[in-house]
A = this chain, B = another copy of it.
């Protein structure tokens, strides 16, 4: 069982692009670092809210991608916010380990060598 994810805004008002996706900014709820940007479709949003584990939709692999299933660096969603015009989401997460596949803490930092 997951903890409840707080949803701020109306998920029914989210606008998806022609590929059925919406950009999602992940921010660490503790450090307030911006961790990464990825994409969700309606089903990825549903899974994220229901499970508490953040699930994205991979554009390159065209499949669902539950963050951390391969790396162990899972994201627990705490709050999911819809922006003013419904075309971006912000998910505040409890991040386990580094968020970036390079091993860096965020996708906006250089990996430690």
Asked if residues A102 and B88 are in contact (CB atoms below 8 Å), the reply is: no
Asked if residues B83 and A8 are in contact (CB atoms below 8 Å), the reply is: no
Question: Which of A29-37, A44-52, A67-75 binds B?
Answer: A29-37
Tally of this chain's copies: 2
Query: Is the CB of A11 closer than 8 A to any CB of chain B?
Result: no
Number of interface residues of A (CB under 8 A): 24
13 other contacts beyond A36-B83, A84-B104, with CB at 8 A cut-off?
A8-B108, A8-B110, A9-B108, A23-B37, A27-B34, A36-B88, A37-B37, A37-B88, A83-B107, A84-B101, A84-B102, A84-B111, A85-B107
Residues of B close to A25: CB separation below 8 A: 25, 34, 37
Which residue of chain B is the closest to A37 with respect to CB atoms? B88
Interface mask (A79-112 → B, CB under 8 Å = 1, otherwise 0): 0011111001010000000001110100110110
